[in-house]
A and B are shown apart, each in its own frame.
Chain A
Amino acid sequence: MGAKEGVVTSVEQIKTAGSSRLILAGDLVFYTMRPSAYPSGFVPQPARDGQLGWSAKYRSNSPKVYLGIHEQVFEHRKFKYGLALDGYLAWGLSQDDPGVKVLIGGGESEHGVTLNLLAFSSGKLLGLELRHLPPKNSVDWDESVRAVIAATTEKYPTAKLFQAAPLAPWGMGEVSYVGNQPLRGIAFRNLAKRRLQIPAIGWPIAGLGACALVYAGAVASGYYQYAVATEEYREATGSPIIAKSGGLDEDSLAVLSARQSFVEKRRRVAELSSLANSITARLAGYDDLKVLEMRFPASGNKSPGDSVADIFLSIAVPSTSQPMIDQANDVMGLISLRTGLSLRLLNRAASQDGRYRLFAMEGPITSSTTSGMRSP
């Protein structure tokens, strides 16, 4: 085997191979047309189309060959490898006449003979089979070969049979030997750095698991937030205030608010009564001046702009020779001095009653008045 290309049918032959380009045949390549059956120990390779044409790759009913290379081949990476199967397929698919042709390839090794049977018609792969025969030197070799041929002609009655290298010709009349012809033009490649194999199916499942984790996390976090919010709500509504009113009661709150403004309303009348005390006390020293009447309109809802006076005073003083209006001014000046009240005479409120003059006055009570009262 000093040629450029050598055919190997077992791992042992690879170890002793003398050429740089090796054709894998026999037991080193497993193939099937049904994707489900795949034995262990073989590294999956890209599937081959069993029909020519660009659309064959995408049509689900077009025949395909699923194949794998024995995993131990991958331990010998210094060679370029081609597949005998590729050559058989190319040969068969190029036969575009409608007659059925069966190509018998395979490989011989010390353990026995492996046959690849590929049936074609009109450039389309009809079927393929793998047969294991005993070693060539065994007693039942001829019988085995005849059985294979008989089974094939039974399955494909009109088929023409061809036999290809690396099998040696059997020399049987019904089988034509095409020799090396199918093996020409095989592409040789380095084996992929990594085993060309289907990505681990664990990854998409792990991705799905990660998504499930995200989902669980989102639900858990959302539920946690919801639970916290619910708990807070429960605490908030559990307060005695809410329990007492049996819920939110804006009306009762409005009543409470109205009560608040009611109880906080400034009670002017209370101040005025203490004012009366103090006015009386401050004017008590003047025997000539009599307070006939003090009136405190204590309307609670007086607004600042109202001109209603805070105090009315009716005063009686002995008549003097002064004009009535002048005496009134004197009296008001005196009262102002003593009490801080700033009074004015009411319209037509001065009158003469015997020896007395009567004055009616009114005035506001300001904060300065009250503060002046408190610190004489």
Chain B
Amino acid sequence: MSEVTPRLFRTVLVACIGGGLLLLLGAKEAYEILDSKANAQSSQTRIVTEYTNRYRALQAAQTRFVSSYPPESSFTDWRSYFRYFDFPARSLKVDLDRLVVSLYDPPPTPGTPDIGIRRACIATDQGNDLVIQANSYAGLLDGVSKLISRPDVSVEMVTLTGDKPIPEARLSQFCLIFRKTSGEGRP
């Protein structure tokens, strides 16, 4: 201790105060930097978590989407579209030779993403309607009801005629909705 002169002491004191201030400022700076990095990271985490939650919330719908609509790969030729409905099994009569299949991509809607579906619209002859017949009205109603209840079917109008010898239903804009193959899982 006695080797410490006032001058040395002052030097040490000034150096320590200076060094201490530098350390404190540095501590503040370092903490702020790390804290802001941590906050930035946390907000990224929140974004990711929120994304994950939203994604999860949409999974049920996605599963429903996949299970509701057949993939495009199920259809190999134009007949496969109406074979898909298996009309005879439903006791519905459709004149297969007169059927026309037209494929449509849904027109793009501004602000709405392409959800990856196409439509195969089936009509009798060149008209807009698919004509379906059955042996009885009860059978016709039952069959048509089940047909148009399918999620992968869209129809604009159902017309049932009651004054014909053979019960007949006309389905306007009868379309099969299917997934583009790329829409299997993720878009």
A222 CB, min distance to chain B CBs, angstroms:
3
Interface assignment of B149: CB less than 8 Å from any CB of chain A: yes
Chain B residues with CB under 8 A of A296:
157-159
When C-beta atoms are compared, the residue in chain B nearest to A225 turns out to be: B38
Decide: B6 and A259 in contact? CB cutoff 8 A: no
A300 within 8 A of B: yes
Residue of B nearest to A226 (CB): B38
Q: State in angstroms the CA–CA spacing of A225 and B31 once bound together.
A: 10
Q: Contact between B30 and A255 (Cβ–Cβ < 8 Å)?
A: no
Say yes or no: is A214 at the interface (Cβ < 8 Å to chain B). yes
Is A207 a contact partner of B42 (Cβ separation < 8 A)?
no
Residues in B whose Cβ lies below 8 Å from that of A42: 2
Q: Residue-by-residue, is A36-56 near B (CB-CB < 8 Å gives 1, otherwise 0)?
A: 101111101001000000000
Q: Does A318 contact B (CB under 8 A)?
A: no
Which of B7, B55, B56, B114 has the most chain A CB within a 10 Å cutoff?
Answer: B55
| Minimum CB–CB distance for B162 against chain A, Å | 4
- Give A240-292 interface residues, CB cut-off 8 Å to B: 241-242, 244-245, 248, 250-260, 262-264, 267, 269-270, 272-274, 276-277, 280, 290-292
The answer, yes or no, to whether A66 is at the interface (CB within 8 Å) is yes
B61 touches A226 (CB 8 A): no
Q: Does B12 contact A (CB under 8 A)?
A: yes
Contact B6 A47 (CB under 8 A): yes
Stretch at the interface among A77-85, A194-202, A339-347: A194-202
Interface check B151, CB cutoff 8 A: yes
Is A336 in the interface zone, CB < 8 Å from B? no
Q: Please tell me which one of the listed residues B13, B31, B156 contacts residue A222 in the complex, with CB atoms under 8 A apart.
A: B31
Cα distance, A293 to B158, chains bound together (Å): 10
A270 partner, pick from B23, B149, B163, beta carbons under 8 A:
B149
The answer to whether the Cβ of B88 comes within 8 Å of any Cβ in the partner chain is no
Which residues of chain A are within 8 angstroms of B19 by Cβ–Cβ distance?
Answer: 208, 211
Answer yes or no: A204 CB below 8 A from chain B CBs: yes
Interchain CB contact (< 8 A) of A251 among B3, B113, B145, B156: B113
Q: Smallest distance from the beta carbon of A192 to chain B beta carbons, Å? A: 15
Partner of B35, one of A222, A236, A259, A300: A222
- Residue on B nearest A206 in the bound complex, by CB: B16
Q: Interface with B: A19-27, A135-143, A177-185, A227-235, which one? A: A227-235
| CA A219 to CA B35, docked complex, whole Å | 10
Is the pair A273, B30 in contact by a Cβ cutoff of 8 Å? no
A241 and B58 in contact, given A198-B4, A276-B145, A280-B137 (Cβ under 8 angstroms): no
Q: Which of A200, A222, A260, A292 contacts B161 (CB 8 A)?
A: A292
When the two chains form the complex, which single residue of B2, B35, B116, B142 contacts A225, counting CB atoms closer than 8 Å?
B35
Does A172 lie at the interface of the complex (its beta carbon under 8 Å from any beta carbon of B)?
no
CB of B12 within 8 A of CB of A293, answer no
Interface flag for B27 (CB, 8 Å): yes
B127 contacts partner chain A, Cβ-Cβ < 8 Å: no
Is A17 close to B, CB under 8 A? no
Contact with A along B57-99 (1 / 0, CB 8 A): 0100110110010000000000000000000000000000000
B185 to A: closest C-beta gap in Å: 8
Q: Is A297 an interface residue (CB 8 A)?
A: yes
Q: Within the assembled complex, what's the spacing in Å between the Cα atoms of A40 and B3?
A: 7
Contacts of A208 in B (CB 8 A): 16, 19-20, 23
B49 lies within 8 A of chain A by Cβ: yes
Complex Cα spacing A297 to B159, Å? 8
Smallest CB separation, B122 vs chain A (Å): 16
Can you report 25 residue pairs joining A to B where beta carbons are below 8 Å apart? Answer: A35-B7, A68-B2, A198-B6, A204-B12, A208-B20, A210-B20, A211-B20, A218-B28, A219-B34, A222-B30, A222-B32, A223-B34, A225-B34, A229-B37, A229-B45, A232-B42, A245-B186, A253-B51, A255-B186, A259-B62, A267-B151, A269-B158, A270-B148, A292-B163, A295-B160
Q: Name 17 extra pairs, CB < 8 A, besides A211-B24, A233-B44, A269-B148.
A: A38-B3, A198-B9, A201-B1, A201-B8, A201-B12, A212-B23, A215-B24, A215-B26, A222-B34, A230-B41, A253-B51, A253-B55, A255-B187, A258-B112, A262-B115, A263-B64, A298-B157
